[in-house]
């Protein structure tokens, strides 16, 4: 099979051009800088309240475990209350749990305070609609327009009220367990959970313990500063070591807000989102439950695409970001999509990426087939892939710089039919991501390094 090289055309869509504040995944940055400040978040809460509903409307607020969550929770609460919105505070809660509770508690919206896999000194805000999906573009535009108006407070009689949802954790635990067959038992299975000192630390251990597994945990002692610090899905080394030391059957690592995961098999082999997506898709296909194409992104490994082709499973790619995966799934009637980073969307189970729910789908297949994780991946060959991040000191057009375009052309010509090249700006950080993938590791490494050096040179030239 021949593979065309793929280079990013840097098209993030018209939405990115029109938006001033919202990115592909809400608002994110370093605390105290840019948009991530108390005054901006207070105004954002007020503007969202004005757009999302009038007096008596209900909005949920949840957060991960980073120290600044207290600050932004209070700021959002003040802004929303000033707009006449009633608040339901969830406390530390995985992002997908907030989406679920927004839907089941019939709220007008859910707001997540989190910077996902980023360090503690970053934070962000993102919204869910009343049905647990990402907030529609039209509403984001309305909120941005409202931000230009002076903040005003409703009459005292119309001010919103705040109330804590005491059983939020228990509700979400029961939902997670409901996504697998009632007869499923994990008795006899040893599992290590790495909760990244993040939002899953209270929920995940209960879910897997109540299903019968023998659970060992790491990353379950958040202090506000250690979220994602050398643990979690972005640092799986600690999980791999724990799995091998304890002779566990499986290791599961979540990120800081719980919407993505990585797995480690009993031999310490890391399984990323591509492998997880393959296992779930094969399971759905075998049982006649797969609908529409499976959706990946331009970062999905060519080996997974090959494996799907051999299995007769239709596959499509979209640009990076769960927002775009979800859009394509809705367009095509699909139910499964995901990214190598471990963000897996099972639309037949929930409305957004959910690390716990995705892990449970893999465990169902392991139990039903009586096979371990490595055996379930026997049909997938992962091709060498190198990803290099080049940091941008300031915004500037670098991917159209002659030095970059020349190196890109040479890489595409050399890898034609046997690999792919992707250059793209990160949607959440000031980075250019350089990805090269192909059958031959040496050529992949050479072109990744060459292209990264070209981008770095162009950064210096436009600085």
Residue 388 structure tokens: 């290099």
- Domain's final residue, options 382, 414, 432: 382
Residues 135 and 62 in one domain: yes
User: Looking at the domain assignment, is residue 11 inside a domain?
Assistant: no
pLDDT values of the chain reduced to their tens digit, one per residue, 463 residues:
334 443 333 333 443 446 789 887 789 999 999 999 999 999 999 999 999 987 779 999 999 999 999 999 999 999 999 999 999 999 999 999 999 999 999 999 999 999 999 999 999 999 999 999 988 889 999 999 999 999 999 999 999 999 999 999 999 999 999 999 998 999 999 999 999 999 999 999 999 999 999 999 999 999 999 999 999 999 999 999 999 999 999 999 999 999 999 999 999 999 999 999 999 999 999 999 999 999 999 989 989 999 999 999 999 999 988 889 999 999 999 999 999 999 999 999 999 999 999 999 999 999 999 999 999 999 898 899 999 999 887 655 788 899 999 999 999 999 887 888 999 887 667 788 999 999 889 999 999 999 999 999 888 765 5
Residue 371: give the domain boundaries.
272-382
Residues 217 and 114 in one domain: no
The residues pairing with 265 across neighbouring beta strands, listed in sequence order, are: 250
User: Looking at the domain assignment, is residue 90 inside a domain?
Assistant: yes
Which domain CATH number covers 192?
Answer: 3.40.120.10
Residue 256 structure tokens: 């800081």
Residue 15 structure tokens: 């939405």
Residues 35 and 162 in one domain: yes
Residue 221 structure tokens: 């002692």
pLDDT of residue 177: 98
Task: List, in order, residues 6 or more apart from 115 with CB less than 8 Å away.
Answer: 28, 64, 66, 122, 123, 124, 256, 257
- Domain's final residue, options 360, 382, 404: 382
Q: How far is CA 3 from CA 74, 241, 299, 405, 438, in A?
A: 51, 36, 14, 20, 9
Residues 45 and 160 in one domain: yes
pLDDT of residue 428: 66
The count of domains in the chain is 4
Residues 238 and 284 in one domain: no
Catalytic residue from among 116, 130, 233, 283: 116
Residues 321 and 429 in one domain: no
Residues 37 and 160 in one domain: yes
Q: Given CA atoms 342, 105, 125, 128 in this order, what sign does their dihedral have?
A: positive
User: Looking at the domain assignment, is residue 152 inside a domain?
Assistant: yes
Residues 227 and 290 in one domain: no
How far apart, in whole angstroms, are the C-alpha atoms of residue 221 and residue 188? 26
| Bridge pairing between strands 109-113 and 58-63 | parallel
Put simply, whether the predicted model's pTM sits higher than 0.85 gets the answer: yes
116 assigned to active site = yes
Residues 365 and 389 in one domain: no
Which domain CATH number covers 417?
Answer: 3.30.310.50
pLDDT of residue 14: 40
Structure-token match 């046997």, residue found? 418
Structure-token match 């209350």, residue found? 81
User: Looking at the domain assignment, is residue 9 inside a domain?
Assistant: no
Rg (the chain; Cα; Å)? 22
User: Looking at the domain assignment, is residue 314 inside a domain?
Assistant: yes
User: Looking at the domain assignment, is residue 292 inside a domain?
Assistant: yes
Q: Given CA atoms 47, 129, 174, 202 in this order, what sign does their dihedral have?
A: negative
* SS3 of the chain: helix, strand, coil, percent, to 5: 40, 20, 40
Residues 47 and 143 in one domain: yes
Q: What burial class does residue 442 get, using C-beta atoms within 10 Å of its C-beta: 0-12 exposed, 13-18 middle, 19+ buried?
A: exposed
Residue 2 structure tokens: 């021949």
Task: List, in order, residues 6 or more apart from 303 with CB less than 8 Å away.
Answer: 274, 380, 381, 382, 383
Residues 314 and 208 in one domain: no
Q: How far is CA 111 from CA 98, 135, 179, 330, 415, in A?
A: 8, 10, 24, 23, 44
* CA count, 13 A, side-chain hemisphere, 408: 21
Residue 122 structure tokens: 């970053």
pLDDT of residue 410: 93
pLDDT of residue 294: 98
- Domain's final residue, options 242, 267, 292: 267
Residues 197 and 159 in one domain: no
User: Looking at the domain assignment, is residue 176 inside a domain?
Assistant: no
The three state secondary structure string of 77-109 is HHHHHHCCCEEEEEEECCHHHHHHHHHHCCCCE
User: Looking at the domain assignment, is residue 17 inside a domain?
Assistant: no
Q: Which residue, 17, 32, 94, is CA-closest to 63?
A: 94
């Amino acid at each position: 099979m021949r593979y065309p090289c793929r280079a990013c055309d840097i098209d993030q869509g018209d939405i990115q051009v029109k938006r001033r504040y919202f990115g592909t995944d809400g608002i994110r940055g370093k605390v105290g800088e840019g948009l991530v400040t108390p005054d901006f978040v207070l105004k954002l809460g007020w503007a969202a309240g004005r757009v999302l509903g009038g007096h008596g409307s209900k909005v949920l607020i949840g957060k991960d475990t980073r120290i600044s969550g207290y600050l932004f929770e209070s700021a959002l609460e003040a802004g929303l209350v000033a707009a006449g919105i009633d608040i339901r505070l969830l406390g530390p809660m995985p992002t997908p749990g907030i989406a679920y509770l927004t839907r089941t508690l019939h709220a007008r919206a859910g707001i997540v305070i989190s910077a996902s896999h980023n360090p503690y000194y970053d934070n962000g805000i993102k919204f869910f609609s009343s049905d647990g999906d990402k907030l529609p573009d039209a509403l984001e535009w309305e909120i941005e327009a409202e931000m230009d108006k002076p903040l005003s407070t409703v009459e005292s009689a119309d001010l919103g009220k705040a109330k804590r949802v005491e059983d939020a954790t228990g509700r979400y635990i029961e939902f997670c367990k409901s996504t697998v067959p009632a007869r499923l038992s994990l008795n006899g299975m040893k599992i290590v959970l790495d909760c990244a000192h993040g939002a899953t630390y209270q929920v995940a251990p209960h879910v897997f313990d109540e299903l019968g597994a023998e659970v060992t945990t790491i990353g379950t002692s958040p202090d506000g500063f250690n979220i994602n610090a050398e643990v979690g899905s972005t640092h799986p080394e600690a999980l791999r070591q724990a799995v091998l030391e304890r002779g566990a059957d499986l290791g599961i690592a979540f990120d800081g807000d719980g919407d993505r995961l990585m797995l480690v098999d009993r031999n310490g082999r890391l399984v990323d989102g591509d492998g997880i997506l393959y296992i779930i898709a094969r399971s759905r296909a075998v049982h006649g439950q797969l609908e529409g194409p499976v959706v990946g992104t331009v970062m999905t490994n060519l080996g997974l695409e090959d494996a799907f082709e051999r299995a007769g499973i239709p596959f499509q790619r979209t640009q990076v970001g769960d927002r775009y995966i979800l859009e394509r799934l809705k367009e095509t009637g699909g139910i499964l999509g995901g990214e190598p980073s471990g963000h897996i969307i099972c639309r037949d189970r929930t409305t957004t990426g959910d690390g716990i729910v995705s892990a449970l789908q893999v465990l169902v297949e392991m139990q039903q087939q009586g096979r371990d994780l490595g055996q379930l991946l026997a049909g997938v060959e992962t091709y060498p892939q190198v990803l290099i991040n080049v940091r941008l000191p300031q915004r500037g057009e670098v991917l159209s710089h002659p030095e970059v375009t020349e190196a890109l052309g040479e890489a595409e010509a050399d890898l034609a039919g046997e690999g792919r090249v992707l250059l793209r700006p990160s949607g959440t950080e000031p980075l250019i991501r350089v990805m090269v993938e192909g059958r031959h590791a040496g050529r992949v490494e050479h072109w990744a390094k060459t292209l990264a050096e070209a981008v770095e040179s162009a950064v210096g030239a436009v600085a």
